[in-house]
Structure 1
Amino acid sequence: MNTTQYEDVSEQCSLAELIENIEQIHHRFTRDQLQRIKLLIHGLEPSKQIEASELIAYFDALNADLVPHLLKEEHILFPYIVAMETDSRSPPVSCFGRITNPIRMMQIEHASVKSLQEKFRKMTSDYAATHSQHDGHLTEIYAALTELDHDLMQHMHWEDDVLFPRAMEMEMQDNPSNINHSQS
């Protein structure tokens, strides 16, 4: 699905459809790209791995942040949003209180990812291999990081600017006093 079609769909679609698009397009791409980059990095010659040790450390941190983040969205937050949308008269009871609680946590994690992305951009001069680094393997790693960077920015936009505000608005419209939710 191209981005323009995605924009049209997201403004008109249900939250369940938006979540499905996020999972099918962005979560799948993120997992695939993380695996691809990991293989590329571990395929570097040992001398290149030493040169790229800072890059490898940042990638490992990004990977360690993103994988559990995706799982929390897919197994906790997204199913709750779908259930809330499906039966607004009887919203599900949650272990996290108001939906703003896990959303706030996801946004904090998004900020952490954005910070790592900024460090990657700075460290790699916006993913441009220098003449001394110009090696096909490293160029391929930078290209893969660029693709991941662009997709993550789009991915976080759909969640932070479209999905999460709509979910919070739905919760407030359906249950302004939030009586049915425990305050943990």
Structure 2
Amino acid sequence: MSQEIVNQWRDKSNTELVQYVVERFHQRHRAQIPELKQLALKVEQVHDDHPQVPAGLAEHLDSMLHELESHMMKEEQILFPMLVRGIYPSGPISVMEEEHVQHDQELQHILAITNDLTPPEGACGTWQELYRGLRELVQDLNDHIELENTVLFVDSDTVPKHGEDFCCGSCQ
């Protein structure tokens, strides 16, 4: 995500940002991961003898969807309503940020088993479509995490202005 987009969202209300995150990212992840899982199943079954088949990808995506769904529900039902009211609970925010680290690790696993999303020479259309979709998922999830971590989860009233003392955040 570009710094320009992050800065654009810094000027928006939490209500607008929460709505954007749910519509642009949460709803998208809920649709894209099951689709990718189906493509992965097909590639794994049809090309199970190929040395570059992303073995276990469908199962990993299924697990990832369950983890993400749990994460997104906690945000939508607990954290986001608090943020919309101007409440920045450090405990729940740190839990979400830690889960974001886990989501990044899940993405790194995808990159590892897919040769950095590079299909083998002569890969079928389904295999290529799978990797295009995974590339989109990786970008979407990274953008989602960055927007939450750097804008939504930061109370602009407590961020030091230029020249003020910097706080590491542990005192909040």
Asked if TM exceeds 0.5, the reply is yes
Residue ranges of structure 2 left out of the alignment (5+ in a row): 160-172
Counterpart among 114, 118, 128 of residue 128 in structure 1: 118
Q: Which structure has the higher relative contact order (CA within 8 Å, separation 6+)?
A: 1
Q: Distance in 2 between matches of 1:131 and 1:56?
A: 21
Partner of 2:94: 104
| 3-state secondary structure, aligned to 1:126 | coil
Residue ranges of structure 1 left out of the alignment (5+ in a row): 86-90, 92-97, 171-184
C-alpha RMSD of matched pairs (Å): 2.7
Q: Distance in 1 between matches of 2:40 and 2:8?
A: 36
Farther-moved stretch of structure 1 (140-149 vs 47-56) = 47-56
- Larger fraction in helix: 1
With over 3 angstroms needed to count, the CA separation of the structure-2 counterparts of 1:17 and 1:122, relative to structure 1, is same
| 3-state secondary structure, aligned to 2:117 | coil
Q: Distance in 2 between matches of 1:169 and 1:25?
A: 27
Contact residue 15 and residue 167 of structure 1 kept, 8 A: no
TM-score by length of 2: 0.78
Amino acid at match of 1:103: I
Same amino acid, percent of matched pairs: 26
Q: What is the CA-CA distance between 1:5 and the residue it aligns to?
A: 7.9
With over 3 angstroms needed to count, the CA separation of the structure-2 counterparts of 1:142 and 1:34, relative to structure 1, is same
Q: Distance in 2 between matches of 1:52 and 1:58?
A: 10
Counterpart among 75, 78, 81 of residue 76 in structure 1: 78
Q: Distance in 1 between matches of 2:63 and 2:35?
A: 16
With over 3 angstroms needed to count, the CA separation of the structure-2 counterparts of 1:46 and 1:66, relative to structure 1, is same
Farther-moved stretch of structure 1 (38-47 vs 143-152) = 38-47
Q: What is the CA-CA distance between 1:80 and the residue it aligns to?
A: 1.4
Partner of 1:173: none
With over 3 angstroms needed to count, the CA separation of the structure-2 counterparts of 1:5 and 1:111, relative to structure 1, is closer
Counterpart among 157, 163, 166 of residue 146 in structure 2: 157
Matching of residues 16-165 of structure 1 within 5 Å: 16-44=15-43, 46-48=45-47, 51-83=53-85, 85=86, 99-131=89-121, 134-165=123-154
Contact residue 100 and residue 168 of structure 1 kept, 8 A: no
Contact residue 41 and residue 49 of structure 1 kept, 8 A: no
| CA deviation map 1:115-168 (0-9, x unaligned) | 111111122121001126x12111111111110000111100010111111278
| 3-state secondary structure, aligned to 2:118 | coil
